[in-house]
Amino acid sequence: MAGPPPIYGSLSTADIVLAILAHLSENDEAARVVVTDDEVRFTAGYGVGDEDGQTRTRVKHLGEYEFEVGVRGASGEEKIRRTARVLADE
């Protein structure tokens, strides 16, 4: 059974951070929020990373991928979860 089609390049946590910051920049108060690559990761089963597979920093196939963003200063393990869609270019 073949997996999802591979893509040329990848979708990285840095790409997601840039998209988040672009949205935040539209509001003066929200623009003060700091988001870094260290706070974003693809959830279990997705992405590729270090040899142990624990650092999920990018995906290299078409599909839908859940990622989470840690919130600095939040109590406990609160994370925001969203889905990114990697589509074929038409």
Q: What is the pTM of this model?
A: 0.76
Of 43, 53, 55, 54, nearest in space to 81 by CA: 43
Of 65, 62, 45, 66, nearest in space to 54 by CA: 45
pLDDT in tens, the chain (90 residues): 466 676 777 889 999 999 999 999 999 998 988 889 888 988 865 555 544 545 578 888 888 888 989 877 766 677 888 999 888 876
Q: Alpha helices, DSSP H only, in the chain?
A: 13-24
Of 72, 74, 70, nearest in space to 82 by CA: 70
